[in-house]
Structure 1
Amino acid sequence: MNVSDVGGDESLVPPLTVWGVAMCVSGTLITTENAIVVTTILATPSLRAPVFLLLISLGLADLLAGVALILRFLFLFCVEPSDWSELLTSGVLVTSLTASLCSLMGVALDRYLSLSHALTYGSSRSRRRAAVLLLLVWLGACVIGAGPAMGWHCLGEPNSCSVARPLTRTYLSLLCGGFLLVVMVTLQLYAGICRVARRHAHAIATQRHFLPASQSYASKHSSGRGFSRLILVLSVFVACWMPFSLWGLLGDASSPPLYTWATLVPAAGSSLLNPILYSLRNKDIRKVLVQCSNLKSSKRVTSPSA
């Protein structure tokens, strides 16, 4: 929704809509969910492997996306809309989506390296490399997100607008082209994961006569579950990111705004699904959360007698 869409006096705050309520609720859920994940990892000294650094980065990026949605709601329905608020929320959202997508690529790279270099990956050297990589990712995301505030906007030239105002068509095309490149690289990494997993499964199959029957069945069952989870992750990843990446390249300012929202909502919705697919399914993180929950329950039980 743009400032120009509000009828009458532009100084009036527009009335609250269903879309506004949904924006506020989803932003709050995304922020809360990812804050829990980030706090849990940071507060647990044992969670310092490269994968947890990547999950912290992913959680921070998605948390920032939730904050961007809340800010967008506040600037649209609680205070008088202005150009600077549009530039601020657009920049924060671009930064968060860029960092989130690059972090997802980093998670795929981590899974590939942990399979192909199982004996050496996870050392302190690998953690330092992951930290440097994430620092570069966030620096790049912040530079890209600063584009609207640095002049890559169409507030003064409506004809140069893209499907996502106030971003220019050139800026959004470059952004979506980069998104597609990251998506393709991530898919290639997952294809490599499948190849490595098949080689491991073949190596296990050739040694089946050395294993007990129950252990052989357990290995096969675990492998099947692994591929099912991989297919689920890939399906959600492509469904969330591919529509907006393609629409940003193909659409223009004359296209119906509904199409833009229909493709942008899944991209933002990935911030709600990522903690479930990548962090809360991790057994180490789940163990910490269960321990915290049990500790709180025991305190509630003992507090009356105290």
Structure 2
Amino acid sequence: MTANTSDLTWDESSGADAFLAADQSVTSPPRGSPPLTAWGVALCASGTFIAAENAVVVTTILATPSLRAPVFLLLASLGLADLLAGVALVARFLFLFCLEPGDWSELVTSGLLVTSLTASLCSLMGVALDRYLSLSHALTYGSGQSRRRAALLLLLVWLGACTLGAGPAMGWHCLDQHDSCSVAPPLTRTYLSLLCGGFLVVVLATLQLYAGICRVARRHAHAIATQRHFLPAEQPYASKRGRGRGFSRLVVVLSVFVGCWMPFSLWGLLGDASSPPLYTYATLVPAAGSSLLNPLLYSLRNKDIRMVLLHACCPRRQHTHAVHAHPPVDV
């Protein structure tokens, strides 16, 4: 999914971010690779860092037999999706600045980005669902049956993401019909509208799950306070501060989630091929940037994953590594 970068040039001589559309047809002879720009360097560097960061997360989870709870399966899926997003950015850089750009490279990178972003967003919804179920069914969730259900859910997510990602390569593109292009060529307006509509549904469903998490957590806190024969307002300061930190973390997670995914989802529905490419970049960069922030907000906040990484970095140190059955609050 690109904003037709191969048809844009960067006017570095003027020191401004000028986007000039090239007036040429699809059947024109192949063009040579454009000169390397600051945008290309940022594209390669960010893609490499995203891929490396998420590769560490995926390797840590898959290489540790004790990390097999449903939450870790979801985090591995999230890391794999974000890893593919980083690979797609690096591939875009190679196709654009190192090799001769062509229609096939547009289709490959667009399909890979659609697959990775779809799987990443659905995995984030799965993490929210895991949090909700772990709180509302705390005694039974995390069993072998729950792991099988999580694995089945992820299988369906990846099948759906790969099917959507194969759309451009299977002919659902606008390379030969520019009038049907969306704000992110070579995707058609119909294709991107369906994709962004699905993104909005997933975003709203995820927000609803987090609202349910807040309701369940509040019920649990009130029940505990009632059993101890005092009101929540009379709890010790440390307990209040702990709940405050948890609420602050939740606000940060939701703010990043909405800020990364909502702009492009709305722009894909409202914009068209005549819209300025700069607007597409401004909304697509946060969506891709979520792949950079997800490991920090989800995987690396988990105490068990941090303990495994610490043990790998300092094997001679003594670590008390006891993996919890299911730590939803740390995820």
Question: TM tier, shorter chain?
Answer: over 0.9
Q: Which residue number corresponds to residue 185 of structure 2?
A: 165
- State the distance in 2 between where 1:185 and 1:5 align: 36
Q: Which residue number corresponds to residue 223 of structure 2?
A: 203
1:66 aligns with 2:69: no
Q: Which residue number corresponds to residue 284 of structure 1?
A: 304
Q: Which residue number corresponds to residue 182 of structure 1?
A: 202
Q: Which residue number corresponds to residue 271 of structure 2?
A: 251
Q: Which residue number corresponds to residue 242 of structure 2?
A: 222
Give the SS at the match of 1:68: helix
Q: Which residue number corresponds to residue 301 of structure 1?
A: none
- State the distance in 2 between where 1:94 and 1:296 align: 43
Measured after TM superposition, the shift of residue 141 of structure 1 is 0.2
Give the SS at the match of 2:184: coil
1:240 aligns with 2:243: no
Q: Which residue number corresponds to residue 3 of structure 1?
A: 6
Mapping of residues 1-306 of structure 1, within 5 Å = 1-5=4-8, 10-209=30-229, 216-295=236-315
Deviations for 1:35-78, whole angstroms, at most 9, x for unmatched residues? 00000111111110000000000000000000000000000000
Asked if the contact 2:311/2:317 (under 8 Å) is kept, the reply is: no
Counting aligned pairs with the same residue, the percent is 80
Asked if the contact 1:34/1:59 (under 8 Å) is kept, the reply is: yes
Unpaired runs of 5+ residues, structure 1, are 299-306
- State the distance in 2 between where 1:219 and 1:116 align: 21
Measured after TM superposition, the shift of residue 10 of structure 1 is 4.1
Q: Which residue type is aligned with residue 3 of structure 1?
A: S
Measured after TM superposition, the shift of residue 12 of structure 1 is 1.3
Deviations for 1:63-100, whole angstroms, at most 9, x for unmatched residues? 00000000000000000001001000000000000000
Deviations for 1:127-170, whole angstroms, at most 9, x for unmatched residues? 00000000000000000000001111000001110000100000
- State the distance in 1 between where 2:263 and 2:289 align: 12
Asked if the contact 1:176/1:249 (under 8 Å) is kept, the reply is: yes
What TM-score results when the alignment is normalised by the length of structure 2?
A: 0.86
Instruction: Identify the structure with the greater helix proportion.
Output: 1
Unpaired runs of 5+ residues, structure 2, are 10-21, 319-331
- State the distance in 2 between where 1:4 and 1:284 align: 46
- State the distance in 2 between where 1:210 and 1:227 align: 22
Measured after TM superposition, the shift of residue 210 of structure 1 is 7.7
> Which stretch of structure 1 is more off in the superposition, 103-112 or 281-290?
281-290
Distance 1:120 1:87, change over 3 A: same
- State the distance in 2 between where 1:145 and 1:232 align: 30
- State the distance in 2 between where 1:228 and 1:112 align: 18
- State the distance in 1 between where 2:93 and 2:7 align: 16
Deviations for 1:263-297, whole angstroms, at most 9, x for unmatched residues? 00000000000000000000000111111111278
Asked if the contact 1:3/1:10 (under 8 Å) is kept, the reply is: no
Distance 1:203 1:258, change over 3 A: same
> Which stretch of structure 1 is more off in the superposition, 287-296 or 152-161?
287-296
Give the SS at the match of 2:100: coil
Asked if the contact 1:27/1:68 (under 8 Å) is kept, the reply is: yes
Asked if the contact 1:152/1:168 (under 8 Å) is kept, the reply is: yes
